[in-house]
Each structure stands twice: as C-alpha cells, then as structure tokens.
Amino acid sequence: MATATFLQKLNTELKRIVAHAVLDTLTDPDLGAELTLHAKRRLRAAARGRSVATLAEIKKKHY
C-alpha cells in the first residue's frame, strides 16, 4: 500500500513539473530568438576579462 501512495505522489509531482516546464516554454517571449552578432561579440569580450564598469561610471554615463 505504501508503494502505491508513493507512486501516486510521484506521478502528481511529475505532472506538476512537466506542466510548469511546458508553461515556461510557451510563455517565454525569447523562445527561439537568436542573439545578434553584436551581442555575441560583447559577451565574448566580457568573458575574456575586459574591465567592468563601476556603478559610478554607469550613473555618470546615463544620468
């Protein structure tokens, strides 16, 4: 009897997880979107260890 209860709970949890994954996929506005070449270059440059702007520099530039 305990195995049946465990399997039922597992089945319910799996359904919840799958439903959540499907919902996330269907409501993702960026699904299938590709990064632009410019964005890819910026990401590669950031990964190479370019210096990162400080919060003060960003505020000065944009405010």
Q: What percent of the chain has pLDDT over 70?
A: 97
Range of the domain at 57: 2-62
**What pLDDT shows up at residue 37?**
93
Once rounded to an integer, what is the mean pLDDT over residues 42-55? Answer: 79
**What pLDDT shows up at residue 54?**
83
Are residues 1 and 8 in contact, defined by beta-carbon separation less than 8 angstroms?
no
- The number of distinct structural domains making up the chain is 1
The Cα–Cα gap between 62 and 15 comes to 46
Q: What is the pLDDT of residues 4-21, one digit of tens each?
A: 888 888 989 999 999 999
The Cα–Cα gap between 20 and 5 comes to 23
Across the chain, mean pLDDT equals 85
52: pLDDT strictly greater than 70? yes
